[in-house]
Amino acid sequence: MTKNSIEKKFFEKNGYIQLSNKINNEDFDRLCEKILFETNKFYSENLDKIKNLGGYLTGNLELLPDKKLTEVWNILCDNDFENKFEAITGKKLSNFNVKCSGNIVLPNKGYQHFHTDGPLKSNKIILNLAIHEINETNAPTQIIPGTHNRNIKYWKFYLNEIFKEKVFIRMKKGDVIIRNHSIWHRGTKNKSKNLRILLLFALTEKSLDKNFSQEINENLTIGENQFKSSFKQKLKEVFSIYLAPIYIFYRIISSLVKH
């Protein structure tokens, strides 16, 4: 059995796969340094505004892209990676639209409840790319393997899946995670004093996303993530943190009444 077929079987069974040290060149290193520097600079200079964003309390925010993220994507997508992607997923990379962004976890924040990145029917693939080391101290993503290919309502998830084996995704700079968007996962706490920044490329098949567009900013900025900035969403975020049992109960009841 070839390495590609082993990786394909692993991906199909578990819903994710990690490719170690997939990017290792000077242009990538230069871009990583710029992204880290400019994101930290924006964070320190705009902290008062950032505190008003949905997601600030949990500590999970979105890195909104500029052209540096598209440059990183172009470096990643050499012939070797395109062939590797097709061998693992059975799909051509050229058949997807790509939305570039990033996930930021703030210092001493970051705990999330388990969730997916969308319904099973939207059939997306997520690529995460590390631009610095991510270990147990700075918010590795936690995944429950094998929860990607079924339409699992939250009450069923909490009754069965939540007790299954969980994997912490530790990454070195240049590592890539390919995962199904519908796999159950959560962010964990960033125990370090620095921002944890992980690039994210959301792939949607062009046949399912014919009106695709994405705004590429002049500079990197930080925006809201899972929770939006409306009063209702901020209240929901408060409940998810400070009244977590009630929030979980609410999600269970909601999933029971939804068809």
Arithmetic mean of pLDDT, 206-219: 86
Position 212 scores a pLDDT of: 84
Residue 2, pLDDT above cutoff 90 = no
Closest CA relative to residue 137, chosen from 199, 83, 64, 192: 192
| Other beta carbons within 10 Å of 163 | 9
Q: How far apart are CA 23 and CA 7, in angstroms?
A: 18
Whole-angstrom CA distances from 73 to 67, 115, 231 are: 10, 26, 35
Angle formed by the axes of helices 26-45 and 67-76, nearest 10°: 150
Say which CATH number the domain at 189 has: 2.60.120.620
The one-character DSSP state at 206 is G
Q: What confidence tens digit (pLDDT) does each residue in 48-85 have?
A: 999 999 999 999 999 999 999 999 999 999 878 999 99
In the chain, the number of structural domains is 1
Position 213 scores a pLDDT of: 83
Q: How far apart are CA 7 and CA 176, in angstroms?
A: 13
Residue 104 domain boundaries? 3-257
Residue 255, pLDDT above cutoff 80 = yes
Vertex 112 angle, CA 111 and 114, to 5° = 140
Position 259 scores a pLDDT of: 61
Per-residue tokens: 73: 């994507």
Percent of the chain topping pLDDT 90 = 84
Collapse the DSSP code of 190 into the 3-class scheme (helix H, G, I; strand E, B; otherwise coil) and give the result: strand
Q: How confident is the model at residue 1 (pLDDT cuts 50, 70, 90)?
A: low
Average pLDDT, the chain: 93
The one-character DSSP state at 59 is T
Position 124 scores a pLDDT of: 92
Q: What confidence tens digit (pLDDT) does each residue in 103-156 have?
A: 999 999 998 999 999 887 778 999 999 999 999 999 999 999 999 988 999 999
Position 75 scores a pLDDT of: 95
The one-character DSSP state at 115 is B
